[in-house]
Amino acid sequence: MEKSIGVVTDTNACLDYFDHDHDIPILRSMIHLGEEEYLDHVDLTADEFYRRIEADKSIFPKTSQPATAAMVDTYRSMASKGYTDLIVITISSHMSGIHGAAQVAAEQVPSLNVVVFDSKSVAFPQAKMALTAAEMAKKGKSVDAIVKALTHIRDHNHIYFAVDTLAYLVKNGRLSNAQGFMGSMLKIKPLLHISQEGKVENIEKIRTFKKAVNRVIDMYLEETKGKKVEPFICHANNPEIRDYIEAKLREADPNLTSVFSMPLTPAVGAHAGPGAIGLGYYVPSA
């Protein structure tokens, strides 16, 4: 029987905000706003999510990962379409339990050869992996060849980001309450990045959000100098800062052709908070 390779990713890739024609099911997280629950993007889009939490500051969103049963259903649905192999690309295992749950779900569908790939990232890099895998599968590439390409993307991207408020990082366990209190008192905005291990790490503490954004730009330009990269901007309903960053990138490189920008889906924005901005790059293979 001819092998057919399918691709699955999770909600944190923000793939809903990309134009593509691939068959890539999304394992969706649940968004909790007070007593109300919404399936990410299906019941609550990014625009509506940010409007809700900015209008009512008393609402602190929480998330819950997709149920294992829902993952099993997705795998079985792909098998019913004729796929014999699945590559499941998840958010970093250091940021969520989705990776482990996806592996548990795979054990319940023995008819499929399921490879659960840890993106060690989120948003654009994770989406880039999913789209690359789907395109390679369409061209008849093997699972091993696809995993090799995904590993290259995983090892050759970097995201810096700044948040406008520490409250969401604190409430969702990304910072301790003490750190959040001191940061609020001193108006400190953490400059963060995603490490090669897939962890969210604090690099510097800066006094204002605008200064943090400018430091993100400086670090990006320092790190990408002389390199051929694909830049991207991720933002939590902050088009003004997105446009500011893009203008700065074009000022630094007048030959820059495109800068991909995307909103952070509610499942990611629930942790970053409104106004958060990320600037990153991917280095294509030679």
74 secondary structure, DSSP code: H
Identify whether 39 is part of a domain. no
Based on the domain organization, do 247 and 128 belong to the same domain?
no
Buried b (16+ CB within 10 A) or exposed e, 207-225: eebeebbbbbbebbeeebe
pLDDT at 167: 76
Looking at the fold, whether 248 and 199 belong to one and the same domain comes out as: yes
Q: What is the mean pLDDT of residues 262-280?
A: 95
CATH of the domain at 222: 3.30.1180.10
Last residue of a domain, one of 119, 137, 155: 155
Which one-letter DSSP state was computed for residue 57? T
Q: What is the CATH number of the domain that holds 86?
A: 3.40.50.10440
One domain, residues 121 and 176: no
- Do 113 and 22 reside in the same domain of the chain? yes
Helix (H) or strand (E) holding 208: none
Total number of domains constituting the chain: 2
- Locate the DSSP E strands across 5-84: 5-10, 26-27, 30-33, 36-39, 62-64
Answer yes or no: do 93 and 194 share one domain: no
* Same-domain status, 216 and 273: yes
Residues 96-128 pLDDT 10s: 999 999 999 999 999 999 999 999 999 999 999
Asked if residue 246 and residue 120 are part of one domain, the reply reads: no
From 138, 155, 172, the end of a domain falls on 155
pLDDT at 44 over 90: yes
Residue 42 has pLDDT above 70, yes or no: yes
Out of 140, 155, 170, pick the residue that ends a domain.
155
Q: Specify whether 170 is located in the same domain as 261.
A: yes
Region 24-49: mean pLDDT is: 96
CA neighbor of 194 nearest in space, from 186, 204, 202: 202
- Quote the tokens at residue 96: 């969520």
In a domain, 51, yes or no: no
| Same domain, yes or no: 11 and 139 | yes
Q: pLDDT tens-digit profile of 126-175?
A: 999 999 999 999 999 999 999 999 999 999 999 999 988 777 877 766 65
Of 41-55, 114-128, 160-174, 244-258, the least confident: 160-174
pLDDT of residue 185: 56
Q: Does residue 220 sit in the same domain as residue 108?
A: no
User: What pLDDT shows up at residue 183?
Assistant: 63
Instruction: Say if 42 falls within a structural domain.
Output: no
Residue 1 has pLDDT above 50, yes or no: no
CA 248 vs CA 78, 253, 254, 282: distances in Å: 44, 9, 10, 18
Residue whose C-alpha is closest to residue 132's, from 28, 230, 252, 247: 230
Residues 173, 261 within the same domain: yes
In this predicted structure, the answer to whether residue 181 has a pLDDT above a threshold of 80 is no
Instruction: Residue 273: give the domain boundaries.
Output: 157-282
